[in-house]
Chain A
Amino acid sequence: GAGVSQSPRYKVAKRGQDVALRCDPISGHVSLFWYQQALGQGPEFLTYFQNEAQLDKSGLPSDRFFAERPEGSVSTLKIQRTQQEDSAVYLCASSLGRRGANYGYTFGSGTRLTVV
């Protein structure tokens, strides 16, 4: 597609429920990033893929968070046993790769997760 697509746009989960957030990057974009944005703050890095390889997962806040990109295109961010502090907007971004570093990311519109 023309842009980065994320689904669902909104998700309400009961505390303790597992959720899965999907990201469809721009076709041909090698790099894929997940960010978490709390209200009133900037996006915080979660994890980074180059094709199907997860090269950096240093930002994942706990072992309840898991991300995959098995075929190097679509990615899924899974959160197990959700907690209230997981409530945030989850942003996915893609880029061409290191050669495209000066062009920035293309972000999706995000998934707003609310844990009740």
Chain B
Amino acid sequence: DQQVKQNSPSLSVQEGRISILNCDYTNSMFDYFLWYKKYPAEGPTFLISISSIKDKNEDGRFTVFLNKSAKHLSLHIVPSQPGDSAVYFCATRGKAGKSTFGDGTTLTVKP
């Protein structure tokens, strides 16, 4: 049973508009929730995180929202830029530091 699910394999948005990437999880025992961005032939790059005791964290164009009752996490990118085109992974992180990843959503931002 997959503990972290990203139900949309792909998302396409116009440059300047908002991108919303979604993630659902099943286990409530995680300390942190994270988003990573991955370009082809590179390893994932850490983007932004949120503690399980918060419901929002913002860093520039990126905002992560956590809805604990729904076990749902989302990443908002505003405004979207062509350079944001990549695969985005949602991940959880427990006390031991081990992370569980979703299967990713491929974001395409069209100029």
**Chain A residues proximal to chain B, CB less than 8 Å:** 4, 31, 33, 35, 40-45, 48, 55-56, 91, 93, 95, 97-98, 101-110
Contact = CB atoms under 8 A, between A and B. Distances in A.
Cβ-closest 10 pairs across A and B: A104-B46, A107-B43, A42-B101, A42-B103, A43-B101, A102-B49, A104-B34, A109-B43, A41-B103, A107-B44
Interface stretch (B11-19, B66-74, B75-83, B90-98): B90-98
Contacts of B103: 40-42
Contacts of A31: 97
Given A109-B41, A109-B43, 19 more contacts: A33-B97, A33-B98, A43-B101, A48-B96, A55-B96, A56-B98, A91-B44, A98-B97, A101-B32, A101-B93, A101-B97, A102-B32, A104-B36, A105-B44, A106-B46, A107-B36, A107-B44, A107-B45, A109-B42
Contact of A95 (B44, B97, B104): B97
Contacts of B42: 109
B99 A105 contact: yes
B55 interface: no
A42 B102 contact: yes
Nearest to B97: A31
A21 B49 CA distance: 29
